Amino acid sequence: MSYPPYSTLALQPAGEQVLAVRLDRPEVLNALDTQMAREICDLWARFAAEPGEIRCVVLTGTGDRAFCAGGDLKERDAMSDAAWRAQHEIFERAFVALAECPLPVIAAVNGDAFGGGLEIALCCDFVYSVPEARFAQSELRLGIMPGGMGTQNLPRAVGERRAKELILTARAFGAAEAASWGLVNRICERAALLEEALGCARAIAANAPLAVRQAKKSIHYGLQMDLLTGYRYEIEAYNRLVGTEDRLEGVRAFNEKRKPVFRGR
Predicted structure pTM score: 0.94
Residues 216 and 137 in one domain: no
For the stretch 147-171, pLDDT in tens is 999 999 999 999 999 999 999 999 9
Q: Which helix (H) or strand (E) holds 56?
A: strand 56-61
Based on the fold, state whether residues 13 and 119 are members of the same structural domain.
Answer: yes
Shared domain for 228 and 193, answered yes or no, is no
Residue 237 lies in a domain: yes
**What is the average pLDDT score of the chain?**
95
Name the residue among 69, 13, 59, 67 with its Cα closest to residue 39.
Answer: 59
Q: Is residue 186 part of a domain?
A: yes
Same domain, 72 and 124: yes
**Are 241 and 161 within one domain?**
no
DSSP 115-184: THHHHHHHHSSEEEE-TT-EEE--GGGGT----SSHHHHHHHHH-HHHHHHHHHH---EEHHHHHHHTS-
Answer whether residue 1 is part of any domain: no
Give the range of the structural domain holding residue 245, as residue numbers without chain letter. 209-255
Together in a domain, 173 and 232:
no
Q: Within this chain, do residues 140 and 239 fall inside the same structural domain, yes or no?
A: no
Contact predicate 62/10, CB 8 Å: yes
**Domain CATH for 242:** 1.10.12
Domain presence at residue 187: yes
Q: Is residue 102 domain-shared with residue 214, that is, in the same domain?
A: no
pLDDT of 137 reads 97
Domain identity same for 133 and 218:
no
Helix (H, G, I), strand (E, B) or coil at 188: coil
Residues 71, 118 contacting (CB under 8 angstroms): no
Question: Is 27 a member of any domain?
Answer: yes
| pLDDT computed for residue 79 by the predictor | 86
pLDDT tens track for 128-142: 999 999 999 999 999
How many independent structural domains does the chain possess? Answer: 2
- Quick check: 182 pLDDT over 90? yes
In a domain, 264, yes or no: no
Which of the given ranges, 15-19, 106-110, 242-246, has the highest pLDDT on average? 106-110
In a domain, 260, yes or no: no
Continuous segment of H or E residues that includes residue 191:
helix 190-205
Q: Is the pLDDT of residue 1 over 70?
A: no
Residue 65 belongs to some domain of the structure: yes
Residue 148 makes CB contacts below 8 A (sequence gap 6+) with 91, 92, 95, 116, 119, 120, 123
Give the C-alpha separation, 141 to 147, whole Å: 14
